[in-house]
Structure 1
Amino acid sequence: MTYTITNAVRGGLLAAAILVAGAAPVQASHQHTFSGDWLYLTVTHGDGRSGDMRGTLLLCDPPQGHTRAAEACEQLAAVDGHFERIPPMAAICPMIYAPVTAHARGTWHGKPVRYTRTFSNSCEMATLTGPVFALDG
């Protein structure tokens, strides 16, 4: 009897695994259909493989989805969506290495956007990206 139940459980687990594996490609091919400028922003604290990651969707027509959406959209509009052109803010940051990786993907003025940069710490990231990656509020 135990042999039959064990085989039934294994068969059920195998069937569930096949269903999950079959559903994955459908999700991967999902296309975003947001209108206007939008970016999915993530910030990963620590090692990228095991760090704490936070993310949000920034919509700019009208600004929403981000705790500082209006400021972030204004900042990005001023540099035409080019993160590396954001003017640095004046700040004194500690010389502590606590890596933070900022990542953005989406569309800005109809063009695809991909941005990834690892900063020495959160202070450096805030200084160089302003409100864009301020996902904690």
Structure 2
Amino acid sequence: MRNTARWAAALGLTATAVLGPLTGAATAATETSSLVLTARYGDTYSALSADATAAPFSEVTLSCSPHASGTHPNAKEACTELRRVNGDLDALQPEPGVMCPMYFDPITVTVNGVWEGRTVSYERTFGNACVKNTYGSLFAF
């Protein structure tokens, strides 16, 4: 009985040593991309904002590999936008020509997770919901 367990362990270790590098090459091409996005009222930079520590009013998940999925309402479009900017959330720009009302009702969006193997921790405060939504599908949740 002990010999069987030893052989099984030895065979498992040998398979890992031989096949490990081959499977590593396959997974490197499809890095993990899974994010959690939250939105809450308030401006984290303003001590005057009563809602600065408010609980999120919206939270969605977004996974872009191997295909777009999650609870994000526009997962496919959001993943396309992220791929276009190579995961650089600061590179996202508002849609040109969109007019928003000029009132201050700040919404802070956070994005945390992994994009193509890199850790993501992002936060941005928008002047109001209209402004947030002009930055494309990613923030329109």
Question: How would you bin the TM-score normalised by the shorter chain?
Answer: 0.5 to 0.7
> In structure 1, what is the Cα distance between the partners aligned to 2:108 and 2:139?
10
Are 1:111 and 2:126 matched, yes or no?
no
Question: Which of 55, 62, 68 is residue 63 of structure 1 equivalent to?
Answer: 68
TM-score, with normalisation over the residues of structure 1?
Answer: 0.68
Quick one: percent identity of the two aligned structures?
36
Task: Give, as a single letter, the amino acid of the residue that structure 1 aligns with 2:129.
Answer: S
> In structure 1, what is the Cα distance between the partners aligned to 2:39 and 2:137?
13
Aligned to 1:95: 102
Per-residue deviation, 1:48: 2.9
Structure 2 residues without counterparts, runs of 5 or longer: 1-30, 43-50
Aligned to 1:53: 57
46-55 or 59-68, which deviates more:
46-55
Per-residue deviation, 1:87: 2.9
Structure 1 residues without counterparts, runs of 5 or longer: 1-34
CA RMSD of aligned residues (A): 1.5
CA-to-aligned-CA distance 1:56-93 (integer Å, 9 cap, x gap): 11011210111100000000000011111113202101
Per-residue deviation, 1:51: 5.4
CA-to-aligned-CA distance 1:80-119 (integer Å, 9 cap, x gap): 1111111320210111000000100011111100110111
Per-residue deviation, 1:50: 2.9
> In structure 2, what is the Cα distance between the partners aligned to 1:87 and 1:100?
17
* Aligned residue pairs, count: 100
Question: Which of 102, 118, 127 is residue 120 of structure 1 equivalent to?
Answer: 127
Task: Give, as a single letter, the amino acid of the residue that structure 2 aligns with 1:45.
Answer: Y
Question: Which of 36, 40, 61 is residue 40 of structure 1 equivalent to?
Answer: 36
TM-score, with normalisation over the residues of structure 2?
Answer: 0.66
